Amino acid sequence: MSSPKNEPEARPWYQEPWVWLIVAFPAAAIISSLVMAYLAFSTDDGLVVDDYYRKGLAINRILSRDHAASRLQLKAAVRLSADGRSVTVNLEGHPTFHSPESL
């Protein structure tokens, strides 16, 4: 018995384009998750600082020092001796600024 002419011939499942389209999305998800897992385990995330709030406050304190120095027009020249045993710091600033005796 022969098949009628208007019925298409049956092809194997792997030759159907719709099957590959449907399989492509889950396969891509699996491959990308494996790549992400590899990256997560093979790279360093860096350390998370426990006291990040205090670190943030310290940054603000440093910025306030910079603003105060800018307001007083401070300039510093730091010199290190040739033998590396002494440091000389020359401070210049606004006439109302008084240099400290020691740092």
Tell me whether residue 17 is in a domain: yes
Is-contact 63 46, C-beta < 8 A? no
Q: What is the pTM of this model?
A: 0.39
What does the CA dihedral 7, 13, 17, 23 come to, rounded to 10 degrees? 150
Is-contact 89 77, C-beta < 8 A? yes
pLDDT at 2: 58
- Same domain (yes/no): 34, 63: no
Task: Give the count of domains, the chain.
Answer: 2
Tell me whether residue 101 is in a domain: no
Tell me whether residue 59 is in a domain: yes
Q: How far from chain centre, in Å, is Cα 54?
A: 20
The label of the residue with tokens 């208007």 reads: 6
Q: Which residues of the chain have pLDDT under 50?
A: none
Between CA 80 and CA 78, with CA 96 as vertex, the angle to 5 degrees is 5
pLDDT at 54: 79
- Same domain (yes/no): 58, 79: yes
Tell me whether residue 82 is in a domain: yes
Q: What is the pLDDT of residues 38-54, one digit of tens each?
A: 999 998 877 776 777 77
Tell me whether residue 70 is in a domain: yes
DSSP three-state, residue 71: helix
| Tokens matching residue 2 | 């022969």
- Its domain, for residue 35, covers 13-42
- Same domain (yes/no): 36, 67: no
